[in-house]
């Protein structure tokens, strides 16, 4: 059936291909044009103003121009009515209004608000991106006016007319340039607003992504450390339940403490999510809680030696340093056969250096935390402009070295 319709169209001279598939905004509607509304209110107001103003102008120029008749009013209505399509077909509206105004002036009718329809049509075309079409339309109007006012006036009404002064063409050219300039300014401002909106939306999405990553890191650090301690103590409790009930009780007590602390920190993160505009109810953890980490690691069977003095840090740096040490000790508990680790804290050259070592040996292929934990540490350090180095030592064991830059007041 489609082939038959195409064949009949070619045989009987159907509309040419260029008419059916014209440029966007001229002979067909794009997807975005389908949602455009009919601007009938503004068009109706403009039509009333143009008709009333042209009638007044005709009376004022009765000695120089032809009086308004039915043909003049048809031209005015056509020039205004075509503006209903200025949002769907902006280039067509620009040319149609310019053509109607050119015929109106060529018929000898009075100067007046007829130029306003051209201004609105060309303004809509330029703002919609059809700049060349709008320039061509106003250029056509100006050239038509020059021809009518200086050469064709002999054959056109009103009878006995004289050529217009060239100074009038300067006024007309100035009016045309003003239309184009104002339209171009509006187009530039509109594009700038669109870019600003897009940049704000992109920045909002970026902040949301960063916040999701931060929350994911927090939850991972809290849960990974606490669950690792719980896992180790659960194994100890099961092994000693019958032979050493007292030691099994100690392991269960450690599990209870670790789970309670994990629940508290998870609740703090969730409270922040539920009320993003409020401050957290509890302060963020920092290196001042390092003794708690050492105690929790000892309850999991890991002896931790802390070397160096804990400096005063900004909240963001303090939290990142605490989480890095926490994750590194968690990896020792989970992935290393060593029962001892060393945490060294140094402050030199405007940076905080955290070094966490264990003596190994590794208990699996993922020793050292090569998964989300190490990635989270690197993200925390990178967010502050720092670095993370992690890898096995030559003599056995594993090392995590974090370098976090300090602000000027922290580095003192």
Q: Indicate whether 160 and 297 sit together in one domain.
A: no
Tell me how far apart the alpha carbons of residues 12 and 265 are, in angstroms, rounded to a whole number: 79
The model's pLDDT over 347-363, given as tens digits with 9 standing for 90+, comes to 888 899 999 999 878 76
CATH number, domain of 319, equals 3.30.565.10
Q: How high is the pLDDT of residue 160?
A: 54
| Longest CA pairwise span in the chain (Å) | 127
DSSP string, 7-34: HHHHHTT---HHHHT--BTTTB--HHHH
Q: Give just the sign of the alpha carbon dihedral 213, 219, 222, 225.
A: negative
Is the residue at 216 inside a domain? Answer: no
The number of folded domains in the chain is 2
Average pLDDT, the chain: 77
Q: Indicate whether 148 and 16 sit together in one domain.
A: yes
Q: How high is the pLDDT of residue 92?
A: 93
Give the domain-ending residue among 164, 195, 226: 164
Tell me how far apart the alpha carbons of residues 167 and 172 are, in angstroms, rounded to a whole number: 9
Give the domain-ending residue among 116, 137, 164: 164
Q: How high is the pLDDT of residue 189?
A: 86
The neighbouring-strand residues paired with 303 are: 340
Pairing state of beta strands 340-348 and 303-307? parallel
Q: Indicate whether 160 and 291 sit together in one domain.
A: no
Tell me how far apart the alpha carbons of residues 14 and 8 are, in angstroms, rounded to a whole number: 8
Is the residue at 330 inside a domain? Answer: yes
Report whether pLDDT(247) > 70.
yes
Pairing state of beta strands 351-358 and 303-307? unpaired
Show the tokens assigned to 20.
């059916």
Give the domain-ending residue among 164, 189, 215: 164
Give the structural domain span for 380. 287-412
Could you write out the three-class secondary structure of 131-177? HHHHHHHHHHHHHHHHHHHHCHHHCCCCCCCCCCCHHHHHHHHHHHH
Is the residue at 67 inside a domain? Answer: yes
DSSP string, 83-124: GGGTTTSHHHHHHHHHHHHHHHHHTTBPPSTHHHHHHHHHHH
Burial (0-12, 13-18, 19+ Cβ within 10 Å), 36: middle
Task: Output phi, psi for 405, to 5 deg.
Answer: -65, 145
Q: Indicate whether 295 and 152 sit together in one domain.
A: no
Inter-residue contact 234 to 255 (CB < 8 Å)? yes
Q: How high is the pLDDT of residue 21?
A: 36
Is the residue at 2 inside a domain? Answer: no
Q: How high is the pLDDT of residue 187?
A: 81
Q: How high is the pLDDT of residue 33?
A: 45
Element housing 404 (H / E):
strand 398-405
Local confidence band at 81 (pLDDT 50, 70, 90 cut-offs): very high
Q: How high is the pLDDT of residue 365?
A: 46
Show the tokens assigned to 402.
């974090």
The model's pLDDT over 32-75, given as tens digits with 9 standing for 90+, comes to 444 457 888 989 999 999 999 999 988 888 877 888 889 999 99
Q: Which of 170, 56, 175, 161 is nearest to 107 (CA)?
A: 161
Q: Which of 316, 339, 338, 335 is nearest to 386 (CA)?
A: 316
Q: Which has more confidence, 87 or 280? A: 87
Q: Report percent pLDDT > 70 for the chain.
A: 75
The stretch 310-323 carries a mean pLDDT of 86
DSSP letter for 288, please. G
The model's pLDDT over 85-120, given as tens digits with 9 standing for 90+, comes to 988 999 999 999 999 998 998 888 888 888 889 889
Least trusted range by pLDDT, from 118-122, 125-129, 246-250, 291-295? 246-250
Q: Which has more confidence, 204 or 15? A: 204
Q: How high is the pLDDT of residue 180?
A: 78
3-state SS class at 268: helix
Is the residue at 172 inside a domain? Answer: no
Peptide linkage before 361 cis (omega within 30 of 0):
yes
Is the residue at 57 inside a domain? Answer: yes
Q: Which of 243, 119, 245 is nearest to 183 (CA)?
A: 119
Show the tokens assigned to 137.
């339309």
Q: How high is the pLDDT of residue 282?
A: 55
Q: How high is the pLDDT of residue 404?
A: 92
């Amino acid at each position: 059936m489609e082939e038959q319709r195409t064949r009949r169209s070619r045989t009987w001279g159907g509309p040419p291909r260029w008419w059916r598939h014209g440029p966007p905004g001229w002979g067909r509607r794009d997807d975005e044009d389908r949602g455009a509304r009919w601007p009938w209110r503004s068009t109706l107001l403009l039509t009333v103003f143009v008709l009333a103003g042209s009638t007044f102008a005709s009376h004022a120029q009765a000695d120089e121009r032809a009086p308004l008749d039915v043909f003049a009013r048809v031209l005015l209505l056509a020039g205004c009515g075509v503006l209903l399509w200025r949002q769907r077909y902006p280039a067509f509206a620009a040319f149609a209004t310019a053509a109607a105004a050119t015929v109106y002036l060529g018929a000898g009718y009075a100067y007046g608000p007829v130029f306003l329809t051209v201004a609105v049509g060309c303004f809509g075309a330029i703002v919609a991106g059809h700049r060349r079409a709008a320039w061509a339309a106003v250029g056509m109007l100006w050239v038509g006016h020059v021809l009518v006012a200086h050469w064709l006036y002999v054959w056109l009404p009103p009878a006995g007319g004289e050529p217009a002064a060239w100074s009038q063409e300067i006024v007309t050219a100035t009016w045309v340039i003003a239309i184009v300039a104002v339209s171009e300014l509006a187009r530039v401002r509109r594009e700038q607003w669109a870019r600003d909106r897009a940049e704000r939306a992109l920045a909002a999405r970026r902040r949301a992504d960063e916040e999701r990553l931060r929350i994911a890191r927090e939850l991972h650090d809290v849960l990974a450390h606490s669950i690792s301690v719980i896992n180790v103590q659960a194994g100890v409790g099961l092994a000693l339940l019958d032979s050493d009930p007292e030691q099994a009780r100690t392991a269960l007590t450690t599990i209870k403490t670790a789970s309670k602390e994990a629940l508290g920190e998870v609740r703090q993160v969730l409270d922040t999510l539920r009320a993003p505009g409020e401050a957290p109810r509890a302060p963020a953890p920092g290196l001042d809680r390092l003794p708690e980490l050492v105690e929790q690691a000892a309850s999991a069977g890991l002896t931790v030696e802390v070397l160096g003095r804990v400096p005063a840090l900004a909240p963001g740096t303090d939290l990142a340093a605490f989480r890095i040490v926490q994750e590194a000790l968690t990896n020792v508990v989970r992935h290393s056969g060593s029962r001892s680790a060393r945490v060294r804290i140094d402050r030199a050259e405007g940076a905080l250096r955290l070094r966490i070592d264990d003596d190994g040996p590794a208990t699996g292929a993922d020793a050292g935390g090569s998964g989300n934990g190490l990635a989270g540490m690197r993200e925390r350090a990178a967010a502050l402009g720092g670095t993370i180095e992690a890898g096995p030592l030559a003599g056995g064991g594993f090392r995590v070295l974090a370098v976090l830059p300090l602000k000027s007041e922290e580095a003192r």
